[in-house]
Amino acid sequence: MDTLLQQLINGITLGAVYALVALGYTMVYGIIGLINFAHGEVVMIGTMVAFTVIVSLAGSAMAPLMILGIGVAVSVVVCMVLGWALERVAYRPLRHAPRLTPLITAIGMSIVLQNVAMIIWGRNYITFPPMIGKHIYEFGGASFTNVQIAIVTLAALMMLGLIYLVHRTRIGMAMRATAQNQHVAALMGVDIDRVIAMAFIIGSALGAVAGCMVGSYYEIAHYQMGFMLGLKAFTAAVLGGIGNLAGAMAGGLLLGVIEALGAGYIGDLTGDFLGSHYQDIFAFIVLIIVLMFRPSGLFGERTGDRA
Amino acid sequence: MLEVNGLRVSYGGIQAVRGISFHVNEGEMVALIGANGAGKSSTLRALARLLDPAGGSVRYRGKELLPLPPHALVAEGIALVPEGRGVFPRMTSLENLRMGAYARSDKAAIEQDLEQVLGHFPRLKERGQQLAGTLSGGEQQMLAIGRALMSRPRLMLLDEPSMGLAPIMVQKIFEVIRTVASDGMTILLVEQNAKLALEVSQRGYVMESGEITVTNESTHLLADPKVRAAYLGE
């Protein structure tokens, strides 16, 4: 029982992070039908930038929480610019190219960003300095920390903010219209280039925050961390129905929980043949099952068509 | 109001529109008729910049339109009702109508126009919260016309408004088009149903294989034996 509760708590924390990253994939896919495989690297850069800011401010007289806040803010701004630049430099010139071309470019950009990060931050694991004094709470035989509470709360707030933005603001209306019919949206006066850029910018901002969460949670960062994180978030987006915002949120949470439960019980299931470090296989088992039996995802209302 | 000169449209080397010229005067409804594939829709799509023309000039109220990006046209007062309606399927009817006013910022007037459009189409009022993708073809056509009206256009381009609709619905749609025109709207109507188009318009152009072959007042075109034989099925 306590394993179940514990892994649910861990899974929801992880899932909140996956959901934020998955939103970046799904927003871009919903609007231009591109799977931006470099998005995981944007998240990684977000972690790294926050790390650098926090380390360089750590000796100052500022309160740790203040330092963390500045780190997150700088990371968000850097990632927004990075997301904008990616679209501008790598994807916009290929807007009318065959679909495989931007996809391969995305993989290329992901490799480029990894290497740039390796040059800047080195090839070793770096320790992400904990800025929140950790408190551990006990609950029904399981424990959770204030960092986990912060992650889940912040993620929930950001998702609510995104829902508000998409459904209640002018730019949100423009984004939905563009996702549904790009040509007609332009006829209504929507500047399509601007909307596409916004999708990248907002997705990258969410990714940057997710990156800071991962750093604070695991207290470790690495230039290749974006690869696995991106792949799992992409899986979460597919699980929820790629292109669908609510789907990305639900898919992220679900994947986090599946993975945590899998990690918690894999030893029992295999008679201790496989340990919890095999937790990564669950995400991909989920991906394969979804692609086999429900390629449009849990919330996917559309199959085949591309906005 | 609209003056098109030598407009050409090509699809990968095939010329769909071969340097046509025509004009639409303020307050006038002009019909562009012709067989399937004659280049009518290509002409309209080029005017609305859904595709880039290969050449020619489009002057609108004395201003050259072709250098403008597509999203700038609505601010000039041009609205297209696209072929196949082009409603936003996963937005409600009301959201679709509001998208029509996307380029406007005069909030009070937008609400007023919304009331007026819903007055034209009581059906849309009933279906206000319904997703546009679940509306019938006729309702979607009403929505597309209503949405275009929401931008307060000076010039409306209508692309095949009767396409795929039941005859009773076609009558309804054309009643609305007539009403809008009688309020002083300038309209360029592309229509395969030549009889209907010529009945509501003042002047007409007949397109054949990418060229304009006949032009006259609509009543004359309706009486022209050649037009009658070729397009009115007589």
Is residue A131 within 8 Å of A70, Cβ to Cβ? no
State the smallest CA–CA distance between residue B22 and chain A in angstroms: 22
Cα end-to-end distance, chain B, whole Å: 34
What pLDDT score was predicted for residue A3? Answer: 84
* Strand ranges of the sheet holding B14-24, from the earlier edge strand across to the other edge: B14-24, B2-11, B55-60, B63-64
Render pLDDT for A210-239 as a digit per residue (tens, 0 to 9): 999 999 999 999 999 999 999 999 999 999
Would you say how long chain A is, in residues? 307
In this structure, of A41-45, A165-169, A200-204, A292-296, the range with the lowest mean pLDDT score is A292-296
CA distance A23 to A246: 9
The phi and psi torsions of A59 (rounded to 5 degrees) equal -80, -10
- Identify the burial level of A270 via C-beta atoms within 10 angstroms of its C-beta, where 0-12 means exposed, 13-18 middle and 19 or more buried: exposed
- Tell me if A187 and B102 make a contact (CB, 8 A cut-off): no
**Which residue from B minimizes the CA distance to A189?**
B71
Query: What tokens does A157 get?
Result: 């707030």
User: Would an 8 Å CB–CB cutoff place A104 in contact with chain B?
Assistant: no
State the smallest CA–CA distance between residue B161 and chain A in angstroms: 16
Strand partners of residue A57: none
Residue B144 lies in a domain: yes
**Residue the block writes with tokens 């380390």:** A55
- Identify the burial level of A89 via C-beta atoms within 10 angstroms of its C-beta, where 0-12 means exposed, 13-18 middle and 19 or more buried: exposed
Three-state SS for A288?
helix
User: Would an 8 Å CB–CB cutoff place A192 in contact with chain B?
Assistant: yes
Predicted TM-score (pTM) of this structure: 0.91
Mutation target to probe the B interface, by most B beta carbons within 10 A, among A187, A191, A244, A299 is: A187
Q: Is pLDDT at A307 greater than 50 in this prediction? A: no
Which residues on chain A are in Cβ contact (under 8 Å) with B82?
A: 183-184, 187
Residue B103 lies in a domain: yes
Domain coverage including residue B187: 26-49+70-231
Q: Domain with B215 in it: what CATH number?
A: 3.40.50.300
Render pLDDT for B101-125 as a digit per residue (tens, 0 to 9): 999 999 999 999 999 999 989 999 9
Residue B64 lies in a domain: no
Query: What tokens does B47 get?
Result: 């005017």
State the smallest CA–CA distance between residue B78 and chain A in angstroms: 9
> What is the residue-wise DSSP string for B65-109?
-TTS-GGGHHHHTEEEE-TT----TTSBHHHHHHHHTTT---HHH
Mutual angle of helices A245-269 and A225-240, in 10-degree steps: 110
Q: Is pLDDT at A301 greater than 80 in this prediction? A: no
**Which residue from A minimizes the CA distance to B98?**
A173
What pLDDT score was predicted for residue A270? Answer: 81
The domain tally of chain B equals 1
Amino acid at A297: G
Closest residue to A189, CB basis, from B48, B91, B103:
B103
Residue B217 lies in a domain: yes
Mutation target to probe the A interface, by most A beta carbons within 10 A, among B51, B65, B68, B71 is: B71
User: Would an 8 Å CB–CB cutoff place B80 in contact with chain A?
Assistant: yes
Q: Which residues of A121-157 are buried (b: 16+ CB within 10 A; e: fewer)?
A: beeeebebbebeeeeeeeeeebebbebbebbbebbee
Residue B118 lies in a domain: yes
Q: Which of B96, B98, B141 is nearest to B121 (CA)?
A: B141
Query: What tokens does B205 get?
Result: 């152009």
What ipTM was assigned to the predicted interfaces of this complex?
A: 0.91
Which residues on chain B are in Cβ contact (under 8 Å) with A174?
A: 102
Strand partners of residue A139: A142
Which residues on chain A are in Cβ contact (under 8 Å) with B75?
A: 189
Amino acid at B151: S
Q: What integer is the mean pLDDT of A33-48? A: 97
User: Would an 8 Å CB–CB cutoff place B187 in contact with chain A?
Assistant: no
User: Would an 8 Å CB–CB cutoff place B138 in contact with chain A?
Assistant: no
The phi and psi torsions of B161 (rounded to 5 degrees) equal -65, -20
CA distance A282 to A230: 15
Three-state SS for A37?
coil
Q: Is pLDDT at A306 greater than 60 in this prediction? A: no
